[in-house]
Structure 1
Amino acid sequence: MHSLRGMIREQTPLYLFVAVLFLVGVVFGALIVGALTMDQVQELSDYLGNFFIMVDQHGLDTSPEAFWSIAGLQLKWIGLIWILGLSVIGLPGILILDFLKGVLVGFTVGCLISQYSWHGLLFALVSVAPHNLILIPVLLVASASAIAFSLLMIRSRVTGRSGLAVKRPFVLYSALTLTLAAAILGAALLETWVTPVMMGWVAPSLIPGA
């Protein structure tokens, strides 16, 4: 555990880098909303309206199957980052995933705010924020660790010190990924059983005439 803490401290500059990259993605995603055509805006409005009616009338699936579906998707994301960190050529892929995650969050929040003003912001706070308060730090830590290990692999190839030189860092890297996977399960619990309840509270305020 002490070694894991030391590794995390050493990677602080990488955390800052991936955090900035994620924030750039968020801004880019929000800007995309403003670039939508009128037809696209209308389609988006119709989709959101139907979604809010469905949430208000029927709620969201809170079954164990829904939990494992949500958890599985996030675990695949973190697993892909882990795999990319094992490859010398996987570094650009890690950066792309971080940027895309930011774009998704920025676009989602931007759509809600552009369509529903402060009601949309409130819905974003209860639907997007809760589980992402766990998922985003997990993503940033996993990405920084993957980048650090990928850079270590590059140095080991250049210096010809592969094998034992990366054995202990690999163990620490994998142990950290498993720890983050446990955190993802916690976020999935929140998204499956807590977030839908809060969404049900806010959804009626977004339905015209409700």
Structure 2
Amino acid sequence: MRLYMKEHLPLYLFVSVLFVMGVIFGALMVGALSPGQKEEMARHVNSFIQIVHQGDELGGQTTFRDSISLHLKWIGLIWILGLSVIGLPFIFLLDFLKGVLVGFSVGYLVGQLSWKGMLFAFVSIAPQNLIVIPALVLCSVSACAFSLYLVKNRFAQKRGTLYPTFVRYTSLTLCMAALLFGAAMFEAYMSPVMIKWVAPMLIAEAG
């Protein structure tokens, strides 16, 4: 894995920078919301915090199924896009979009709840994304590398077999799927507990 990362370091840097740009863009989007949109989102956040504070059950099997389904669809789409050269721009678009989603979520919470919003984001968004984001970056780089290998193999005078490279590509994607399984478990069964810990601190601020 270390050799693979060293070999594809430029791709890792490019994908990582693209993701960071998405985070920045998502955070800036918060400032573009109209007062009505901010008020509507504030009501949803306040309602969620109130539900947590009242002790209603969160997470569980439904959350786990939704989470793992979303993660697997995301990396599955990246894997499919990596099988063709024309999929490269869409892989980059997905990485940027993921950054936008994370940046917007964290940016809104911090903008709405100040340091308490940062705390809320720390327990509700950050933990699983510490696994999800690296997994998506690895899948994206692997997909880009395989797509570029297809280009080289197509135009090379002596075409080699694609099978070993395809197996490595698919194996890495499956390994990342296993990590995302763990992230979904954490999101479904641990994040709700952590959110309940900080919910009392957020009631007055969210109100």
- Judge conservation of contact 1:33–1:111 (CA < 8 Å) in 2: yes
- Judge conservation of contact 1:86–1:149 (CA < 8 Å) in 2: yes
> Which amino acid in structure 2 is aligned with residue 41 of structure 1?
K
Tell me the distance in 2 between the aligned counterparts of 1:156 and 1:53: 57
Tell me the distance in 1 between the aligned counterparts of 2:155 and 2:6: 25
> Which amino acid in structure 1 is aligned with residue 135 of structure 2?
V
Tell me the distance in 1 between the aligned counterparts of 2:157 and 2:20: 37
- Judge conservation of contact 1:59–1:200 (CA < 8 Å) in 2: no
- Judge conservation of contact 2:52–2:58 (CA < 8 Å) in 1: no
SS of 1:86's equivalent in the other structure is coil
Tell me the distance in 2 between the aligned counterparts of 1:109 and 1:158: 45
Q: Deviations over 1:110-130 (max 9, x none)?
A: 000010000000000000000
Quote the residue 1:153 is aligned against.
150
Quote the residue 1:130 is aligned against.
127
Matches within 5 A, 1:8-87: 8-87=5-84
Tell me the distance in 1 between the aligned counterparts of 2:167 and 2:204: 54
SS of 1:207's equivalent in the other structure is helix
The partner residue of 2:183 within 171, 180, 187 is 187
Quote the residue 2:204 is aligned against.
208
Tell me the distance in 2 between the aligned counterparts of 1:189 and 1:196: 11
Instruction: Please give the TM-score of this superposition, normalised by the length of structure 1.
Output: 0.92
Q: 1:152 to 1:120 in 2, by over 3 A?
A: same
Instruction: Please give the TM-score of this superposition, normalised by the length of structure 2.
Output: 0.93
Tell me the distance in 2 between the aligned counterparts of 1:167 and 1:160: 18
How far apart are 1:160 and its partner, in Å? 5.8
Tell me the distance in 1 between the aligned counterparts of 2:75 and 2:61: 21
Q: 1:124 to 1:39 in 2, by over 3 A?
A: same
How far apart are 1:59 and its partner, in Å? 3.9
Gaps of 5+ in 1: none
The partner residue of 1:118 within 115, 119, 122 is 115
- Judge conservation of contact 1:59–1:196 (CA < 8 Å) in 2: no
